[in-house]
């Protein structure tokens, strides 16, 4: 047993080493990856729970690594945050997805405004040129500020002081929506929400996971109901993440959630996918 234990540790060590090597390799490859055009964006639709029509799409970045294949953001966003590459990478994601959203809009003038949701990491939030660069990207693309929603995680705003909130307030005043992402995973005081310049709450996937059982966990349902009514009383819209079944969608609609996102509707995918969903909506 001792030997087996020893082997297990050796194996764990080897795995840890391999991970560290990969992490190191990825970190050194990151800066050139942007210049080489190895990043691409997948879009996942956000759907109105009321009628199932497309409300917008969230931009989710991926890295097509020459050796490791397609890597998800969880593999490299933390590294990019750590090295500071998140600033040019985030700028590229914003530019590219805003350009894409404007393209969709120009082809669907009758379909109402299509929203584009872009994730902002904490480092970007602290960057002194965030507001100026966002204004610049919007102006160059022709997309109206009201079509852009920037998603900021709840944890990035915990204990946020006025210096941190000021750029977000400026963006909100311009008409850009700010969404509180992964809501419910942090420890933020619900009353604190009033202080934040947010207009959308994105309920974390962990809530929808609790609703997966049949029948859904009544406590989870009560919690979601409570959050939704509080959010609405503060004039916040509620988006739910991770909707995987029609039963969940129906329950969330009855509770009064506004929009939803998840595999039940569509996995993140190429921009064409959103384009065809919009065409389908228009008929």
Closer residue to ligand C2E (CB): 112 or 247: 247
Binding site for Ca ion (CB under 5 A): 102, 119, 142, 151, 181-182
By C-alpha distance, which of 180, 241, 256 is closest to 207?
Answer: 241
- Cβ atoms of 54 and 116 within 8 Å: the answer is no
Read off the tokens for 259: 């929009």
Binding residue for ligand C2E, selected from 102, 105, 121, 259, defined by CB under 6 A: 121
CA dihedral 94, 142, 107, 279 (to 10 degrees): 40
Binding residue for ligand C2E, selected from 45, 90, 167, 271, defined by CB under 6 A: 90
Beta strand residue intervals within 27-123, DSSP E? 39-48, 54-65, 69-71, 115-120
> What is the enclosing helix (H) or strand (E) of 22?
helix 2-35
The stretch near ligand C2E (CB under 6 A) out of 1-9, 72-80, 104-112, 190-198 is 72-80
Q: What is the spatial distance between Cα 53 and Cα 58, in angstroms, rounded to a whole number?
A: 15
Read off the tokens for 163: 């210096």
Q: Applying CB under 6 A, does 152 fall inside the site for ligand C2E?
A: no
Minimum Å distance from CB 166 to Ca ion?
22
Minimum Å distance from CB 151 to Ca ion?
4
Minimum Å distance from CB 205 to Ca ion?
7
Q: Could you tell which of Ca ion, ligand C2E, none binds residue 142, using a CB distance below 5 to 8 A set by kind?
A: Ca ion
Binding residue for ligand C2E, selected from 47, 49, 60, 87, defined by CB under 6 A: 60
> What is the enclosing helix (H) or strand (E) of 218?
helix 218-233
Q: Applying CB under 6 A, does 248 fall inside the site for ligand C2E?
A: no
Q: Could you tell which of ligand C2E, Ca ion, none binds residue 272, using a CB distance below 5 to 8 A set by kind?
A: none
By C-alpha distance, which of 190, 202, 110, 227 is closest to 149?
Answer: 202
Q: Applying CB under 6 A, does 244 fall inside the site for ligand C2E?
A: yes
Q: Applying CB under 6 A, does 56 fall inside the site for ligand C2E?
A: no
Pairing between β-strand 200-203 and β-strand 237-240 as defined by DSSP bridges: parallel
Q: What is the spatial distance between Cα 244 and Cα 262, in angstroms, rounded to a whole number?
A: 6
Q: Applying CB under 6 A, does 71 fall inside the site for ligand C2E?
A: no
Q: Applying CB under 6 A, does 35 fall inside the site for ligand C2E?
A: no
> What is the enclosing helix (H) or strand (E) of 260?
strand 259-260
**Angle of CA points 134, 136, 141, to nearest 5°:** 100
Minimum Å distance from CB 59 to Ca ion?
9
Q: Could you tell which of ligand C2E, Ca ion, none binds residue 90, using a CB distance below 5 to 8 A set by kind?
A: ligand C2E
> What is the enclosing helix (H) or strand (E) of 134?
helix 130-141
Per-residue binding string, ligand C2E, 179-218, x by CB under 6 A, is --xx----------------------x-------------
Q: What is the spatial distance between Cα 123 and Cα 130, in angstroms, rounded to a whole number?
A: 10
Q: Applying CB under 6 A, does 271 fall inside the site for ligand C2E?
A: no
Q: Applying CB under 6 A, does 78 fall inside the site for ligand C2E?
A: no
- Cβ atoms of 123 and 82 within 8 Å: the answer is no
Q: Applying CB under 6 A, does 77 fall inside the site for ligand C2E?
A: yes
Residues interacting with ligand C2E, by CB under 6 A?
44, 60-61, 72-74, 77, 90, 93, 119, 121, 181-182, 205, 241-244, 261-263, 268
């Amino acid at each position: 047993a001792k030997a087996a234990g020893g082997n297990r540790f050796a194996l764990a060590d080897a795995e840890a080493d391999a991970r560290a090597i990969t992490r190191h390799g990825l970190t050194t490859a990151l800066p050139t990856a942007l210049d080489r055009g190895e990043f691409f964006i997948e879009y996942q639709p956000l759907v109105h729970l009321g009628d199932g029509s497309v409300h917008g799409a969230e931009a989710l970045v991926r890295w097509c690594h020459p050796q490791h294949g397609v890597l998800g953001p969880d593999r490299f966003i933390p590294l990019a945050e750590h090295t500071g590459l998140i600033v040019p990478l985030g700028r590229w994601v914003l530019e590219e997805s805003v350009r894409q959203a404007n393209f969709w809009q120009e082809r669907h003038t009758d379909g109402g405004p299509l929203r584009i949701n872009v994730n902002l990491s904490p480092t970007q939030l602290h960057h002194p040129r965030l507001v100026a660069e966002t204004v610049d990207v919007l102006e160059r693309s022709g997309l109206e500020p009201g079509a852009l929603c920037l998603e900021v995680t709840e944890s990035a705003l915990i204990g946020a002081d006025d210096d941190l909130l000021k750029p977000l307030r400026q963006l909100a005043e311009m008409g850009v929506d700010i969404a509180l992402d992964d809501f419910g995973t942090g420890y933020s005081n619900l009353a604190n929400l009033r202080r934040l310049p947010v207009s959308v709450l994105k309920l974390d996937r962990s809530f929808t996971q609790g609703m997966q059982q049949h029948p859904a966990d009544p406590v989870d349902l009560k919690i979601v109901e409570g959050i939704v009514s509080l959010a609405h009383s503060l004039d916040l819209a509620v988006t739910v993440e991770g909707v995987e079944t029609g039963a969940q969608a129906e329950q969330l609609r009855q509770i009064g959630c506004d929009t939803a996102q998840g595999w039940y509707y569509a996995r993140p995918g190429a921009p064409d996918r959103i384009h065809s969903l919009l065409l389908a909506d228009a008929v």
